[in-house]
Amino acid sequence: MELIMAVGIGIVTACAVYLLLRGRTFSMVLGLSMLSTAGNLFIFSMGRLRPGASPIVAAGAESYADPVPQALVLTAIVIGFGMTGFIMALAVRMHHQTGSDHVDGLDPVLERRPEHGP
């Protein structure tokens, strides 16, 4: 189970880095979201993967899951959702001002800034 989780986190991280290195804003937003997901999976796996273990320690329980990584991941999901909304708002504003969705504002076809700016 640990090997499958590690390979899955590696694949998601590799896809996220590929999307972050592209020059388009939507690809960057997807890459940041995927990188956040990979980080959340990594933090969640630090609490040891135990199937059927409860996060609450009962009297005489031999195996239990660590609730701290679960709480950290839940908080990170909420923060990641807020940051994704903020980045999307910035991307829409940049596209409105520059007329291009390229990260530096240059149109890669024309290789210059668009004429219809603010």
Phi, psi of 49 (to 5 degrees): -85, 105
Tell me the HSE value of 77 on the side-chain side, using a 13 A CA sphere: 11
Per-residue confidence (pLDDT) for residue 57, from 0 to 100 = 67
Q: Is residue 13 domain-resident?
A: yes
Question: Residue 56 falls within a domain, yes or no?
Answer: no
Within a domain: residue 70?
Answer: yes
- Residue 34 belongs to some domain of the structure: yes
pLDDT at 33: 92
Query: Does the residue 103 lie in any domain?
Result: no
The domain that holds 72 is classified in CATH as 1.10.287
Summarize pLDDT for 56-106 with one digit per residue, the tens. 666 766 666 677 888 888 899 999 999 999 989 988 888 888 777 877 766
Domain count, the chain: 1
CA–CA dist 97, 115 (Å, integer): 10
Provide the residue range defining the domain that includes 45: 2-50+65-98
How far is the C-alpha of 109 from the C-alpha of 75, rounded, in Å? Answer: 41
Rg (CA), the chain: 20
- The first and second tokens of residue 113, run together, are 């800034």
The pLDDT of residue 52 is above 90: no
